[in-house]
C-alpha cells in the first residue's frame, strides 16, 4: 500500500470516529448545525480524496451520504430518527469499504445500491439539483490539491478554503489498525474538549483558534518507534542505575551522575507520556453501543461519561476495550430494567449508565455504574448451585459480597435465556481475565434494586512494573507485585513442621486455612531429585492469580524493583511460565514469572473445595473493604491494633539501635529520624539487654512517620466496629479483632520531636520522595 493511501485510511478512519461521536450527540440535539457541519466535513473529506485515489465505490457511497448531509446542513431536513439510523448505516458502509481497502487493497465488490437508495429516499422532500455540480467541483479542487501533496502530505486539506474551520485534528484518536498515534501532548485539554458535549457556540469558538495550532503542534508517530524509544529509555535507566552504583564513591562524578539521573527520569516520563492516550478514545465508542443495544433490548438508557481526559498507556487502552464493552453490555442487559418495570418500581423510566475514569496514584480506575435492578444475591447463589459450580450448603454459607464475586467465574451467567447480547456465561469471566492479564483488578458492588458498579483498576503502564525479585535455583526471578498479596518466612528449622503434606501436595496453614504451595525450584526442574528443604530458608509468596490463591515457595527474597519488561523470543515464550525478562540494577538478567501460568502449570485449580475455602478467605477480604484491617501486635503482655493502612514497614532490630534525644526514644531509619512511641514499655523491659530484639512498626501519620515499639507482630485481621450500647455512637479507639476487644494505637497522639528535628525529618522525607520520583 502506498503512503498516500495509508494516510488516507488513517485520516478517513479518524473522520469516521469523529462522525460517530457527532451522530450520537446529534440524536440529542438534532438542530445542532455545528454537529451536522462536522459530520458533513468528515464525509466530504473522504469523498474528495477518493476522487483522485480512484476508489469509485467509496466515492459513490460518500457522495450519496454527502447529498443527504448537505440537505441537513441547509436546514431542508431535520435529523430525525430514521435519518440518524441511515447515517449510522452510511458510516458502517464506509468503514467496511475502508477495511477492505486496508486488508485487501481493493474496495471489494459488495453492492451499496440498497444503502444508496435508502440515503436518497431519506432526502425525499426536496430533490437534488445543485449538489452534483458541487461534487464535481470538489473533485476538481481535490485534484489540484493532489499536486501539492508530495511536499505537504495531507496538510493541504486543512489549508483548503472552506475548511479552515475544520478542527484539524481535535482528537488524538488514531485508528488502531493504522498503528499510529497522535502525539497531542502540547494541549491535552483542548484535544479532549471536542469529544465532550458542549454548548455549540462555545465549542465553535474553542475549536476555531485551536485548530491550526493543534495540527501544527502534533505529529503522527509510528507505535513501533515509540515502543523502541521506550525500550531504549529502559536501557538508559538500567545503565544509569549501574553508573550510579559505580560512581557512588567518587565525589567528582557525583554531580554528573546525579544530573544523568535527573535527565533520565525526565526522559522516561516524557516517553511514557507520549504513549498515553485519553480514555475518551474508547469511551467514545460507547454511545453507539448503548444506543444500538438499548434499541435491541428495549431499554431506555442515558449515558454519562466522566473523566474522559484521564490518560492511559495505548496498549492498555486497547486491552480494556473489550472488557469495557462487555461491562456496558452487561449493565444494559442485566442491570437496567425495561422502562415499564422501572416505572413500576418508581424509578425514572430512563436508566442512567455512568462511565467514570479517574487516576488514583499509579492506577486508573474505570467504573461502569448503572442504576438498574442490581444483582439479586439469592439468584446468584441459586445459579451457582444450578450450574454445579458449588453445593447448596456451601452457597448458603457465602456472604453477600463473595457471592457477588461468583459472577466472575467461567461459565456463570445470570441471564434467564441466552440472547445474542449476553447470557452465554462468558462476559464477566472475560472481563476479569482480560483485566488481570494486564495487571489490573476487577471488583463488583451491587445494591439490590438500586444498581451495580463494576470497578476496574488498571496500572498506568505495562512497560515498567513494580516487581519483587526472588531467588531460586541460584538465580533471580521477578515476581509482579500486582499478584502478590503477602510474604511468609518459614525458617529452616520450622520447615518440616509448618509445611504439611497431603498425598504429595505441600500445604501451608495461612491463618488457619490451607494454602496450596508450589515449590518454584521443583516446578522449574521437574526431573531433578527433590532436595531436602530442611537446610534452607523458605519464603512463601502468597499469590492471587485468575481467582486462585497459592503460595510460591522460593529460596530467598531480594529488594522490590521497578523493572523494565522486555519480551522473550517465541521459543522461550512458548514455555508458558515467563511473561518476559528484565535487567536488574546489578546488570543480571531475571526472568519475569507469570503467576497465572504457574498456577495453571502446577495444577492449582478452583476445585469446589477450594472455592469454598476461597469464599471464606474472601470473607475477610470483604470485611476489609467495609471495615479497616488492623495489624495485631503484642506490646509487653497486652494486645493492641495498628490500622494496617498506616503501616509502612515492620522492622526487627536489636534494641541498641534505638537512640535517645533527651528522654525521647528515636530511631535513625534510612537516614530519617523517627520518633518511637513506647507507651507499652517494651523498650524499658529489655533495656538491660542491648542485644535483645525488638520490633518497630513504622507508620505514617499525616505527613510524618512514627515508629511504634512492640514485642511481636501477631497477625493481620479485619476489625469490627463497636457501637456503644443504646446509642449509635461509634466507640473510638477500640475495635473488635478476632472477637476480642482490642485497643487501637492512636498514631496522632505520638508527640512530634522538637522543632528543628522535625524539620530535618521533613526535609529528609522530601528528598526521599524526590529520590522516588527519580527512580
Partner 1 sequence: MNTHGAISNRNVKTASSMVEVCSVRLGKALFGVPITHILEIVGKGRPQLVPLAPSFVGGVVHYRGDVLTTVSLRYLLHLPPKDGTQDILVLESSHGCFGLLVDSVGEVLTVAEADHEPNPSTLEEPLRKLFAGAYKLKGSLLVMLDPERLDPIRLESTLATEVHAV
Which residues are near partner 1 by CB under 8 A?
231-232, 234-235, 473, 475, 524-526, 566-572, 575, 577-578, 580-581, 583, 587-591
Strands (E), 139-275: 180-183, 219-222
Q: For residue 445, what is the enclosing H or E element?
A: strand 441-447
Q: What is the pairing mode between strands 351-360 and 363-370?
A: antiparallel
- b/e per residue 120-129 (b: at least 16 CB within 10 A): eebbeeeebe
Backbone φ and ψ for 528, nearest 5 degrees, come out as -80, 160
- b/e per residue 613-642 (b: at least 16 CB within 10 A): bbbbbbbebbbbeeebbbbbbbbeeebbbb
Tell me how far apart the alpha carbons of residues 190 and 211 are, in angstroms, rounded to a whole number: 9
CB of 519 to partner 1, least distance (A): 12
First to last CA, the chain: 43
Nearer to partner 1 (CB atom), residue 203 or residue 230: 230
CB of 103 to partner 1, least distance (A): 22
Nearer to partner 1 (CB atom), residue 473 or residue 734: 473
Nearer to partner 1 (CB atom), residue 572 or residue 744: 572
Nearer to partner 1 (CB atom), residue 275 or residue 347: 275
Nearer to partner 1 (CB atom), residue 475 or residue 769: 475
Nearer to partner 1 (CB atom), residue 179 or residue 573: 573
Nearer to partner 1 (CB atom), residue 252 or residue 569: 569
- Could you please report the per-residue DSSP string of 8-32? HHHHHHHHHHHHHHHHHHHHH-TT-
CB of 581 to partner 1, least distance (A): 4
CB of 104 to partner 1, least distance (A): 24
CB of 276 to partner 1, least distance (A): 22
CB of 576 to partner 1, least distance (A): 9
For residue 171, give the nearest of 147, 189, 153 by alpha carbon.
Answer: 189
Length, in residues, of the chain: 775
CB of 274 to partner 1, least distance (A): 18
Nearer to partner 1 (CB atom), residue 571 or residue 729: 571
The distance of Cα 390 from the centroid of its chain, to the nearest Å, equals 31
CB of 478 to partner 1, least distance (A): 12
CB of 241 to partner 1, least distance (A): 13
Nearer to partner 1 (CB atom), residue 275 or residue 381: 275
Contact 138, 48 (CB under 8 A): yes
Count CB atoms within 10 A of the CB of residue 86: 20
Contact 580, 573 (CB under 8 A): no
Nearer to partner 1 (CB atom), residue 128 or residue 568: 568
Q: What is the pairing mode between strands 301-306 and 351-360?
A: parallel
Strands (E), 568-671: 578-583, 589-593, 629-635, 638-643, 647-654, 658-661, 664-669
CB of 527 to partner 1, least distance (A): 10
- b/e per residue 130-148 (b: at least 16 CB within 10 A): ebeeebeebbeebeebeee
CB of 487 to partner 1, least distance (A): 22
Contact 288, 88 (CB under 8 A): yes
CB of 264 to partner 1, least distance (A): 14
DSSP class of 473: T
Tell me how far apart the alpha carbons of residues 749 and 746 are, in angstroms, rounded to a whole number: 5
Nearer to partner 1 (CB atom), residue 462 or residue 718: 462
3-class DSSP state for residue 255? helix
Nearer to partner 1 (CB atom), residue 365 or residue 577: 577
Amino acid at each position: 500500500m502506498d503512503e498516500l493511501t495509508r494516510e488516507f485510511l488513517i485520516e478517513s478512519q479518524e473522520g469516521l470516529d469523529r462522525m460517530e461521536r457527532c451522530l450520537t450527540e446529534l440524536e440529542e440535539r438534532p438542530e445542532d448545525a455545528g454537529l451536522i457541519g462536522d459530520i458533513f466535513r468528515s464525509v466530504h473529506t473522504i469523498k474528495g480524496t477518493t476522487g483522485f485515489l480512484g476508489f469509485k465505490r467509496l466515492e459513490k457511497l460518500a457522495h450519496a451520504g454527502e447529498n443527504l448531509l448537505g440537505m441537513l446542513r441547509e436546514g431542508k431536513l431535520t435529523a430525525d430518527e430514521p435519518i440518524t439510523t441511515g447515517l449510522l448505516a452510511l458510516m458502517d458502509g464506509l468503514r467496511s469499504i475502508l477495511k477492505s481497502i486496508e486488508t485487501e487493497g481493493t474496495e471489494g465488490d459488495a453492492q451499496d445500491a440498497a444503502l444508496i437508495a435508502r440515503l436518497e429516499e431519506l432526502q425525499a422532500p426536496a430533490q437534488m439539483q445543485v449538489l452534483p455540480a458541487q461534487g464535481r467541483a470538489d473533485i476538481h479542487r481535490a485534484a489540484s490539491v493532489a499536486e501539492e501533496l508530495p511536499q505537504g502530505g495531507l496538510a493541504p486539506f486543512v489549508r483548503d478554503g472552506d475548511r479552515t474551520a475544520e478542527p484539524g485534528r481535535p482528537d488524538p484518536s488514531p485508528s488502531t489498525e493504522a498503528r499510529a498515534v497522535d502525539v497531542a501532548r502540547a494541549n491535552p485539554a483542548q484535544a479532549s474538549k471536542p469529544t465532550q458535549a458542549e454548548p455549540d457556540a462555545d465549542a465553535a469558538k474553542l475549536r476555531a483558534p485551536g485548530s491550526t495550532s493543534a495540527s501544527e503542534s502534533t505529529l503522527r508517530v509510528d507505535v513501533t518507534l515509540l515502543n523502541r524509544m521506550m525500550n531504549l529509555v529502559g536501557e538508559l535507566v538500567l545503565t544509569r542505575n549501574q553508573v550510579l552504583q559505580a560512581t557512588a564513591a567518587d565525589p567528582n562524578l557525583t554531580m554528573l551522575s546525579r544530573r544523568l539521573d535527573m535527565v533520565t527520569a525526565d526522559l522516561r516520563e516524557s516517553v511514557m507520556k507520549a504513549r498515553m492516550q485519553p480514555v475518551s478514545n474508547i469511551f467514545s465508542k460507547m454511545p453507539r453501543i448503548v444506543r444500538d443495544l438499548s434499541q435491541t433490548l428495549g431499554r431506555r438508557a442515558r449515558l454519562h461519561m466522566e473523566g474522559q481526559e484521564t490518560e492511559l498507556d495505548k496498549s492498555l487502552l486497547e486491552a480494556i476495550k473489550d472488557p469495557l464493552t462487555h461491562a456496558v453490555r452487561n449493565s444494559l442487559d442485566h442491570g437496567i430494567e425495561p422502562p415499564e418495570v422501572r416505572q413500576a418500581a418508581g424509578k425514572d423510566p430512563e436508566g442512567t449508565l455512568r462511565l467514570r475514569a479517574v487516576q488514583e496514584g499509579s492506577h486508573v480506575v474505570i467504573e461502569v455504574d448503572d442504576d438498574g435492578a442490581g444483582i439479586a444475591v439469592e439468584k446468584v447463589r441459586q445459579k451457582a448451585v444450578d450450574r454445579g459450580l458449588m453445593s447448596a450448603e456451601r452457597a448458603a454459607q457465602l456472604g453477600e459480597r463473595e457471592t457477588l464475586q461468583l459472577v466472575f467465574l467461567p461459565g456463570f451467567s445470570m441471564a434467564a435465556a441466552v440472547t445474542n447480547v449476553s447470557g452465554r456465561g462468558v462476559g464477566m469471566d472475560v472481563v476479569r481475565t482480560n483485566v488481570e492479564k494486564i495487571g489490573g483488578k476487577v471488583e463488583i458492588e451491587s445494591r439490590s434494586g438500586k444498581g451495580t458498579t463494576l470497578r476496574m483498576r488498571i496500572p498506568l503502564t505495562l512497560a515498567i512494573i513494580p516487581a519483587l525479585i526472588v531467588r531460586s535455583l541460584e538465580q533471580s526471578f521477578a515476581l509482579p507485585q500486582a499478584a502478590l498479596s503477602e510474604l511468609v518466612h518459614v525458617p529452616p528449622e520450622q520447615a518440616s513442621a509448618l509445611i504439611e503434606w497431603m498425598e504429595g501436595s505441600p500445604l501451608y496453614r495461612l491463618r488457619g486455612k490451607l494454602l496450596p504451595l508450589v515449590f518454584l525450584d521443583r516446578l522449574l526442574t521437574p526431573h531433578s531429585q527433590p532436595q531436602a528443604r530442611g537446610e534452607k530458608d523458605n519464603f512463601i509468596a502468597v499469590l492471587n492469580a485468575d481467582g486462585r490463591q497459592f503460595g510460591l515457595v522460593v529460596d530467598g527474597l531480594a529488594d522490590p524493583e521497578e523493572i523494565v519488561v522486555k519480551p522473550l523470543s517465541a521459543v522461550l515464550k512458548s514455555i508458558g511460565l515467563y511473561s518476559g525478562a528484565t535487567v536488574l540494577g546489578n546488570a543480571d538478567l531475571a526472568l519475569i514469572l507469570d503467576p497465572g501460568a504457574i498456577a495453571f502449570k502446577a495444577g492449582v485449580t478452583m476445585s469446589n473445595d477450594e472455592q469454598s475455602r476461597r469464599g471464606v478467605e474472601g470473607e475477610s477480604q470483604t470485611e476489609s473493604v467495609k471495615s479497616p484491617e488492623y495489624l495485631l501486635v503484642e506490646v509487653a503482655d497486652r494486645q493492641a491494633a495498628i490500622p494496617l493502612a498506616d503501616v509502612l514497614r515492620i522492622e526487627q532490630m536489636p534494641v541498641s539501635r534505638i537512640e535517645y534525644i533527651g528522654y525521647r526514644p528515636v530511631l535513625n531509619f534510612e537516614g530519617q529520624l523517627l520518633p518511637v512511641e513506647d507507651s507499652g514499655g517494651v523498650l524499658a523491659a529489655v533495656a538491660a539487654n542491648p542485644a535483645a530484639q525488638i520490633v518497630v512498626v513504622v507508620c505514617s501519620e499525616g505527613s510524618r512517620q512514627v515508629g511504634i515499639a512492640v514485642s511481636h507482630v501477631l497477625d493481620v485481621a479485619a476489625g469490627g466496629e463497636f457501637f456503644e450500647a443504646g446509642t449509635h455512637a461509634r466507640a473510638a479507639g477500640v475495635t473488635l479483632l478476632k472477637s476480642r476487644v482490642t485497643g487501637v494505637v492512636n498514631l496522632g497522639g505520638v508527640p512530634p520531636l522538637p522543632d528543628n528535628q522535625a524539620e530535618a525529618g521533613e526535609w529528609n522525607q522530601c528528598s526521599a520522595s524526590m529520590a522516588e520520583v527519580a527512580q
